[in-house]
Amino acid sequence: LQRHSSNNPKVFVKSILDGDIRSAAQLLTLIERRDPAALPLLKALYPHTGKARLIGVTGPAGVGKSTLINRLTEDFRKKNRSVGILAIDPTSPLSGGALLGDRLRMHQHFLDQGVFIRSLATQGAWGGISPALFDAIHILDAMGKAFIFIETIGVGQDEVRIAQLAQTVLLVLAPGMGDTVQIMKAGLLEIGDLIAVNKGTPLEGRQLAQQLQAFDQNHPIVRISAEEGEGLRELSSQLERELQKIDTFSCKKEFFAREELQWLLYEKLQTKGMGFPFTSELIESVARREKDPYEIVETWGR
């Protein structure tokens, strides 16, 4: 935080509520670092949240999610709706997350003041999901963004969990990508309220769409080319239809609150050392098979 704002949290909070990009970016940096200075600000912002519509965008890497979000953002902007984009980057424990820059540059709306784009490096244990993700959503929400895209990097367990936080999930697939069959088999189609088939020739796209439709008759499947703008009108109108569903909106809020409490609590347990109360001597004795881990955990806390 800059001196003037840290001295006056109220001013800082107000500037975020007014949609100020720099203040929001500063706070996002704090929450990424898990800096305790963020806490009073997050508390002050929280009552102003819960208005944004979260749209999870998931699908295998390379399927064109960023390009599609660009297109949909264009559409929202024409209707004068403000948009937030959170690109989740589950940073490898081993690298510094080199994917971020590439993805940001893909967004043509990077310079539009009505669009706030942020990649979120969620380091640590749990793939892309972490308390920082919830905080980041609240910040964009408090900024007044009507729609927040949450873009995952691929499609897997963590990504499903992230997408499920959103009220509306857009699953993007493409013909000829090996993962599609696995996605179908693993039941991941069901997470998409709406499925977009991107890339490939029109024939390939139609074939995949038919294949998917045979597998899943519950959700609209639209064949598009995000690059060339094909099928986007239909996708937009299907998306609008999904976004009208008020029921989903409120029921997801409780799910979201529950998940958030769980993650905050787990973070607290870890930070306070309550999450790992065992000494290195004890660990060594388990590693040497002098003690068994079951007994230790069973008797812990008694």
- Closer Cβ to a second copy, 113 or 299, answer by number: 299
Residues 86 and 101: their CA atoms lie apart, in Å, by: 13
What residues contact 58, with CB distance under 8 A and at least 6 apart? Answer: 65, 151, 152, 155, 159, 160, 162, 163, 169, 170, 171, 172, 191, 192
Window 217 to 246, contacts with a second copy (CB under 8 A) = none
Q: Out of 156, 175, 200, 205, name the contact with a second copy by CB under 8 A.
A: 156
Q: Are 49 and 141 in contact (CB under 8 A)?
A: yes
Phi/psi of residue 282, each to 5°? Answer: -65, -45
> Beta partners for 117?
85
Contact 45, 17 (CB under 8 A): yes
Query: Least distance to a second copy from the beta carbon of 234, Å?
Result: 26
Query: Min. distance of Cβ 140 from a second copy in angstroms?
Result: 16
- Give whichever of 10 and 185 is closer to a second copy, judged by the CB atom: 185
Give the nearer residue to a second copy in terms of CB position, either 73 or 205. Answer: 205
Q: Does 106 bind a second copy (CB under 8 A)?
A: no
Instruction: Quote the least distance from Cβ 244 to a second copy, whole Å.
Output: 20
Cα first-last separation, the chain:
43
Is 215 among the residues that bind a second copy (CB under 8 A)? no
> Which of 1, 27, 30, 42 touches a second copy (CB under 8 A)?
42
Residues 170 to 199: which contact a second copy by CB under 8 A? 177-179, 182, 185-188, 190-191
**Is 264 an interacting residue with respect to a second copy (CB under 8 A)?**
yes
Q: Which of 56, 127, 200, 231 binds a second copy (CB under 8 A)?
A: 127
Are 90 and 128 in contact by the 8 Å Cβ rule? The answer is yes
Contact call for residue 276 and a second copy (CB under 8 A): yes
Choices 9-17, 104-112, 120-128, 208-216; region in contact with a second copy by CB under 8 A: 120-128
Q: Does residue 89 contact residue 129 with C-beta atoms inside 8 Å? A: no
DSSP state of 225: B
Contact stretch for a second copy (CB under 8 A) within 4-12, 58-66, 112-120, 231-239: 58-66
165 near 187, Cβ under 8 Å?
Answer: no
Cβ atoms within 10 A of the Cβ of 152, count? 26
Report, in Å, the least distance between residue 73 CB and a second copy: 23
> What 8-state DSSP symbol labels residue 48?
G
Q: What phi and psi values does residue 129 have, to the nearest 5 degrees?
A: -100, 135
Q: Residue 7 CB, nearest distance to a second copy (Å)?
A: 21
Asked if 256 touches a second copy (CB under 8 A), the answer is yes
CB of 280 to a second copy, least distance (A): 8
Residue 167 C-beta: closest distance to a second copy, Å:
12
Residue 37 touching a second copy (CB under 8 A)? no
DSSP result, 141-177: HHTT-SEEEEE-SS-SHHHHHHHHHSSEEEEEE-TT-
Choose which of 78, 111, 246, 254 interacts with a second copy (CB under 8 A): 254
Measured from the CB atom, is 115 or 120 closer to a second copy?
A: 120
CA distance 98 to 130: 19
Which residue has 């890339």 as its token pair?
A: 199
Q: Is 295 in the site for a second copy (CB under 8 A)?
A: yes
